[in-house]
Amino acid sequence: MRNVNGAKSNPLKSDQNNRCLVKILSVQPNLVEQVHEAILLEISSGKLAPGSRIIQEQIASELGVSRQPVQQALLLLRNQGVLSDAPGRGLIVAPLDPDHIRHMYDVRAVIEGLAFRKAALNNAELAKRDGPAFITKGRQAAQTGSVSELIAADMAFHHFVYSLSENLLVAPAMDTHWTYTQRVMGEVLMMDEKPRDIWEQHEALLQFIITGDGEAAEAYAREHILAAADFIIARISAP
């Protein structure tokens, strides 16, 4: 086989090169995601406070990566509202915006309500079998008071419900909001000496799913999300 210049090419070698290229490209998004999660954890845990300047070179050095994945991760975080541009300073950790939180939680209430209703209608038995483990994990996190463990347990429970709903559009729709939600949860959790234990509410939600009561599951899920918004906004707005 000849290439565009008329020279003979080796199809096998070309195929091998393509496989290598695919392998390289497949690693890069995963690396960006890892860097994104690492920076978000630093922010959510309070190690990078609101107003802190973000220095690409320092992050790249601490994570042991090149500047490219750091740059891409920072762009994602800026687009997600976690970082903002500061004149003369570059990127900084954005302060929390009560209006944005209210709008985001209004949207979450609708989507989460749908997810909990569908979960109750479609997978009550699976919820009964696997759900209690998520509640136990959440209560253990509440006992430790670890911000990162609390956030991880909360996210795991909600993603479990998304899978039970069998609506393949729920998780992608919610993914656009979870980054900022982690940022919000981290700051609010750090304000309290003893983090608020929401796992009684989660257990009640799980029971609605287990009993197959879709209407009650949706109503309580919406109430749960909107009450969380009220609590968060009150906490960050307090003098």
**218/102 same-domain check:** yes
Q: Do the beta carbons of residue 108 and residue 176 sit within 8 Å?
A: no
Number of neighbours of residue 190 by Cβ within 10 angstroms: 14
Residue-wise pLDDT for 54-112, tens only, equals: 999 999 999 999 999 999 999 999 999 999 999 888 899 999 999 999 999 999 999 99
**45/106 same-domain check:** no
Residue-wise pLDDT for 13-22, tens only, equals: 444 444 444 4
What value does the mean pLDDT take over residues 136-163?
93
**152/166 same-domain check:** yes
- Per-residue pLDDT at 151 exceeds 80: yes
**Structural domain containing residue 32:** 11-93
What is the Cα–Cα distance from 227 to 206, expressed in whole angstroms? 18
CATH of the domain at 81: 1.10.10.10
Token pair in block for residue 83: 């970082």
Q: Which helix (H) or strand (E) holds 197?
A: none
**62/178 same-domain check:** no
Token pair in block for residue 75: 């762009």
pLDDT for the residue numbered 47: 87
**89/150 same-domain check:** no
Domain count, the chain: 2
What value does the mean pLDDT take over residues 154-177?
95
pLDDT for the residue numbered 46: 82
What value does the mean pLDDT take over residues 150-156?
93
